[in-house]
Amino acid sequence: MTLFGGVIPVTGISFVLMCVFGILFVGYALGRITIKGVSLGDAGVFVIALVFGALFKDIIFGEGKPMADVFVEALEVIESLGLILFVTSVGFIAGPKFFGNMKRNFKSYVLLGFVIILFGGVSAVACILMGDGIGYGATIENREGFVAMIVGLLSGSLTSTPAFSAAKATVAAEYTSLVSVGHGIAYIFGVIGVVLFVQLIPKLTKADMDAERAKLVQVEEGKVKKAITGLFNIDEHGFAAFALAAVLGTIVGKIKIPLSAAGLDGTCFSLTTTGGCLLVSLILGHFGRVGKVNIMPDTHTLKLFRELGLVLFLVGAGVPGGVDFVANFDPMYFVYGIIMTLVPMVAGFFFAKYVLKLSLLNNLGSLTGGMTSTPALGTLISTAKTEDVAAAYAATYPIALIAVVLVSQFIIILF
């Protein structure tokens, strides 16, 4: 491929990287635009990635285009790398405070995770019943196909890759493409809706953020620092420890647990790379050492990897999301996706506030975990100006991860 009339030759990978960094530049600029204290933040990168995918759908990704395969494969690598960097950083950051926080609020986190996904499932069922009454849309002729679409919308509205994979494995082979379409349509509002929600709620409730930060569970920094003094560091920045967590987390995430008799129908549950890296880094971050060896990366390293990982993930997920959105958009399905994002999110917030009596930031941190929303956590950390919200996210996330997989499969079997 050449640019500017053939003056500058560009290889496939270099062209992909040029596009990625271009998306990051424009996306960050968009994210800085603030209206009444609310901004897209890092989600600006996601919006620009979507626009890029939509605009260049035929030019780059069209059938027979030489760059299509290179772009698709590169974006998959970028998305996976971004997820590993982000969730591993979150796990390490939350690790020292995670288990103490879980001990105090275990029942609340479990309940909230299930409640959020339950309301997501109920809203999905309601959409199926609505479809029975008003029709399944222009492109779907039968109920089985519509159920596959709805389950795809549910996984997209909760930005849940495990639920997406489980749904594709459960529906009949001829309907797997509808699951993919639904996931792509709902994913957009699933990201942006939660990102805006965690910014708007503190403003609408006129919360005193200093007071809210003080309510979060604290661990004395002096004790943490004292515990790691005098340990051997493999490298100055903690890259080796981070790499160890990423390797172990990827292995753990690949372990599959059958959800049916001997898993004969291929239906299995796994933590995926995301859940595996989160779990392993939480444990390593909690202990911080193996004998005399320090396995806790430097704080600056973790913050850098967390930010880099988040925006790479948004680019990797956003560009193909834009392609799918344009190719398969149907206003009715988009509305269904909005319903399946708003209902569990709002219900979860009020349940945590009035039933569980969680403080605002603990509530919102748990909510991002319950909605399995990686981008929203990044936004909440910036809004709250404290890393402590990551512990609440990490506590609720595994519960929601398991619940959304099971609920998705239950809906398919039931309908």
pLDDT mean over 232-251: 92
pLDDT mean over 323-338: 80
pLDDT at residue number 344: 95
Torsion of CA 206, 337, 40, 372, to 10 degrees: 80
Kindly indicate the confidence band of residue 366, based on its pLDDT and cuts at 50, 70 and 90.
very high
pLDDT at residue number 225: 46
Distance CA 94, CA 109 (A): 15
Distance CA 287, CA 303 (A): 19
Both ends of the chain: CA-CA distance in Å?
A: 49
Q: Minimal CA–CA distance to 281: which of 362, 394, 136?
A: 394
User: How does the average pLDDT of the chain come out, rounded?
Assistant: 82
The sign of the torsion formed by the CA atoms of 84, 23, 158, 154 equals negative
Say which residue, 339 or 273, is predicted with more confidence.
339
SS3 for 58-71 is: CCCCCCCCCCHHHH
Phi, psi torsion values for 34, nearest 5 degrees? -120, 130
Contacts of 390 (CB under 8 A, 6+ apart): 90, 93, 94, 365, 377, 381
- 82-111: per-residue pLDDT in tens? 888 988 998 898 788 778 777 777 888 889
Distance CA 6, CA 16 (A): 17
pLDDT at 135 > cutoff 80:
no
Kindly indicate the confidence band of residue 353, based on its pLDDT and cuts at 50, 70 and 90.
very high
pLDDT mean over 63-67: 67
Q: Minimal CA–CA distance to 130: which of 152, 147, 145?
A: 147
Kindly indicate the confidence band of residue 119, based on its pLDDT and cuts at 50, 70 and 90.
very high
Q: What is the number of other CB atoms lying within 10 angstroms of the CB of residue 345?
A: 25
Kindly indicate the confidence band of residue 7, based on its pLDDT and cuts at 50, 70 and 90.
very low
Residue type present at position 111: L
DSSP letter, residue 232: B
- 158-173: per-residue pLDDT in tens? 887 667 766 776 777 7
Distance CA 216, CA 362 (A): 7
Residue type present at position 167: A
pLDDT at residue number 220: 41
pLDDT at 188 > cutoff 60:
yes
- Asked if 294 contacts 231 with a C-beta cutoff of 8 angstroms, the reply is yes
pLDDT at residue number 222: 41
DSSP assignment of 172-196, as one string? -GGGHHHHHHHHHHHHHHHHHHHHH
Conformational region of residue 62, where left means phi above 0, alpha means psi within -120 to 50, and beta covers everything else: beta
Q: Minimal CA–CA distance to 273: which of 123, 83, 145?
A: 83
Kindly indicate the confidence band of residue 66, based on its pLDDT and cuts at 50, 70 and 90.
low
Say which residue, 22 or 132, is predicted with more confidence.
22
pLDDT at 306 > cutoff 90:
no
Helical packing angle, 143-157 and 176-204, nearest 10°: 40
Q: Write down the residue that tokens 């971004």 correspond to.
A: 82
pLDDT at residue number 183: 80
SS3 for 339-380 is: HHHHHHHHHHHHHHHHHCCCCHHHHHHHHHHHCCCHHHHHHH
Distance CA 415, CA 411 (A): 6
36-40, 81-85, 406-410, range with the lowest pLDDT: 36-40
In a 3-state reduction of DSSP, which class is residue 139? coil
pLDDT at residue number 217: 57
Whole-angstrom CA distances from 411 to 121, 128, 259 are 8, 10, 15
pLDDT at residue number 296: 92
Kindly indicate the confidence band of residue 198, based on its pLDDT and cuts at 50, 70 and 90.
very high
Distance CA 301, CA 132 (A): 52
0.75 exceeded by pTM: no
Radius of gyration, CA atoms only, the chain: 21
Distance CA 344, CA 45 (A): 25
Q: Minimal CA–CA distance to 78: which of 313, 376, 320?
A: 313
Contacts of 159 (CB under 8 A, 6+ apart): 187, 190, 191, 194, 371, 372, 373, 374, 375
